[in-house]
Amino acid sequence: MEFFSSLLEQMSTAYDLLVAGWGVQLLWGIGWTLAVTTVSMVIGAVLGSLVAAAKLSHLGRLRFLGESYTTVFRGEPELLIIYLFYYGGTQVLTGVARSTGSIGPTDIVNMPSFLGGVLAVGIISGAYQAEVFRGSFLAIHRGELEAARAYGMSAWLRFRLVIMPQVLRLAVPGLGNVWQLTIKDSALISVTGVAELMLTANKAARSTHHSLLFYTVAGILYLVMTSISTPIFDRAERYTSRSFLRPK
């Protein structure tokens, strides 16, 4: 009996803490996490396609640049990249502002934490997306590219009509993986002070001393986010490859 009453008491405390206290903040945290992940994915898509193009280029120097990009940003700890952009950005901004004399010699211009975090996670995501895009490009049949060339299509037309649609279709499963990875990387942005899910859970845990509750809730919310994205990407895959499915 005692066990049940203490359990009931704990559950009501948890309810109070979540619904009356930190629930709304945690929901905002989810919103910020999704915002960080989405913006990072977009930055990563732009960088990733450029890097993939560089890695596939016939110019040795461009290939080397692309290789170095993916090696460095997949080989470094994510935390280091995030610190580099956040604190390094602060260092650069402060240096520039001090040299132009717009702030005093002891003042500091902080890197906006959202910008720094999103750039860092976007660049990491770009390295993984570059590999996905490169793989999809290599999966296109050579014959189609040759046929396009034989038709006298310009490079741009070839890209727009033959390469891009197929790369996008073939890249969907890989992009799903990168999206999951980016959601998990976005938790590291909490160290720079973006009020995403991890930082909110952290604050809640520290101020209420209920760390078990809040970290469990955060973990469950991350699981919900990652498991919701799986069927969405499956659907996208079915949709983009609908012309390749066997007729029923």
Contacting positions for other proteins (CB under 8 A): 71-72, 75-80, 83-84, 87-88, 90-92, 180, 183-185, 187-188, 190-191, 198, 201-202, 205, 210-212, 215-216, 218-219, 222-223, 226-227
Shortest Cβ distance from residue 166 to other proteins (Å)?
26
Compute the distance between CA of residue 146 and CA of residue 44 in angstroms, rounded to an integer: 30
Shortest Cβ distance from residue 54 to other proteins (Å)?
19
**In the complex with other proteins, which residue's Cβ is closer, 94 or 240?**
94
**In the complex with other proteins, which residue's Cβ is closer, 138 or 223?**
223
- Helix 60-75 to helix 23-56 angle (10° resolution) is 150
**In the complex with other proteins, which residue's Cβ is closer, 65 or 191?**
191
Structure tokens at 191: 């160290």
Shortest Cβ distance from residue 245 to other proteins (Å)?
25
**In the complex with other proteins, which residue's Cβ is closer, 57 or 202?**
202
Shortest Cβ distance from residue 6 to other proteins (Å)?
11
Shortest Cβ distance from residue 51 to other proteins (Å)?
17
Nearest to 128 by CA among 170, 71, 80, 211: 71
Residue with tokens 């998990």: 184
Shortest Cβ distance from residue 104 to other proteins (Å)?
15
Burial track 88-120 (b if 16+ CB lie within 10 A, e otherwise): ebbeebbeeebeeeeeeeeeebebbbbebbbbb
> Which DSSP helix (H) or strand (E) runs through 66?
helix 60-75
Which residues, at least 6 apart from 50, have a Cβ–Cβ distance to it below 8 Å? none
**In the complex with other proteins, which residue's Cβ is closer, 162 or 189?**
189
Structure tokens at 240: 């983009």
CA angle 120, 240, 58 (to 5 degrees): 60
**In the complex with other proteins, which residue's Cβ is closer, 77 or 152?**
77
**In the complex with other proteins, which residue's Cβ is closer, 22 or 222?**
222
Do residues 68 and 51 touch, judged by C-beta distance below 8 A?
no
Compute the distance between CA of residue 77 and CA of residue 212 in angstroms, rounded to an integer: 27
